[in-house]
């Protein structure tokens, strides 16, 4: 994590030096908040679950996925090159994002003279550094600035994918770690607001993330899930 924070600081310092020499205005800031996941199984994962558990086409009855809330820390800077238009670069740390996979299985029970449903839950969590390049357009400037932003991003996994498995009714759990590989790629779009206060502005940001390519578990050919997320963050920015 220390290396990740150091990289983010170096990234923003380099960005500041480059664009501070340009004739337009330059703004830097930081935000923090939460990401709300809307993940879904990839088609490859669905096929694997069908084969491993013999679920056929009714697998939805037996397996479900829940996305996890995850903290988001962001450092950003944008260069305003024309009235109401700017280019924004960011370094976003997405902490403990992932999914919770719940598997239900009917097992024979002598006590109930039939079947009972066993439930196994596995949580998958990982950290990534997302680096978006966004186009900003401000359509309202006073008293509060409001605008739209959109653009592509790269998502770089940091560290290992951590797994924790629990079984319903069992107080214990098992955990492990697996390597991840590859770089994700996607698009983001959303809305921002900025309210002047002090030497800068309080800023809020709501955006949706949509992965086209997702990092994979090392040794596999397909991602386990498709990442979708709504990030809600707030912070402070200053213009130079």
Q: How many domains does the chain have?
A: 1
225: Cβ contacts below 8 Å, ≥ 6 apart: 39, 40, 41, 42, 45, 65, 99, 214
Specify if 211 maps to a domain: no
Measured distance CA(38)–CA(103) in Å, rounded: 18
Taking 70 as the threshold, does the pLDDT of residue 15 lie above it? no
More confident residue, 219 or 189: 189
Specify if 27 maps to a domain: no
- Residue 149: name the closest of 40, 33, 233, 37 by CA: 233
Specify if 169 maps to a domain: yes
pLDDT of residue 106: 58
Full domain range(s) for residue 73: 2-21+34-206+219-239
Specify if 227 maps to a domain: yes
Q: Which helix (H) or strand (E) holds 71?
A: strand 69-82
Specify if 118 maps to a domain: yes
Comparing 108-112, 144-148, 225-229, which segment has the lowest mean pLDDT? 108-112
Specify if 26 maps to a domain: no
The pTM score is: 0.78
Taking 70 as the threshold, does the pLDDT of residue 27 lie above it? yes
Q: How confident is the model at residue 67 (pLDDT cuts 50, 70, 90)?
A: confident
More confident residue, 7 or 157: 157
């Amino acid at each position: 994590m220390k290396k990740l924070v150091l990289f983010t600081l170096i990234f923003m310092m380099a960005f500041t030096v480059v664009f501070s020499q340009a004739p337009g205005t330059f703004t830097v800031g930081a935000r923090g908040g939460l990401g709300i996941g809307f993940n879904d199984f990839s088609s490859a994962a669905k096929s694997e679950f069908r084969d491993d558990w013999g679920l056929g086409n009714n697998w939805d009855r037996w397996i479900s996925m829940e996305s996890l809330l995850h903290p988001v820390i962001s450092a950003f800077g944008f260069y305003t090159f024309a009235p109401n238009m700017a280019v924004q670069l960011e370094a976003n740390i997405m902490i403990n994002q992932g999914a919770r996979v719940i598997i239900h299985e009917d097992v024979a029970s002598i006590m109930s003279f039939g079947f009972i449903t066993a439930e196994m839950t596995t949580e998958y969590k990982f950290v990534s550094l997302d680096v978006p390049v966004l186009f900003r357009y401000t359509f309202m400037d006073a008293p509060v600035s409001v605008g739209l932003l959109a653009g592509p991003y790269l998502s770089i996994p940091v560290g290992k994918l951590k797994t924790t498995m629990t079984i319903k009714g069992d107080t214990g759990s098992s955990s492990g770690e697996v390597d991840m590989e590859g770089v994700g790629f996607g698009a983001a779009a959303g809305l921002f607001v900025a309210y002047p206060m002090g030497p800068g502005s309080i800023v809020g940001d709501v955006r949706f993330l949509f992965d086209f390519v997702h990092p994979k578990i090392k040794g596999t050919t397909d991602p386990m899930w498709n990442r979708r997320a709504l990030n809600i963050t707030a912070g402070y920015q200053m213009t130079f």
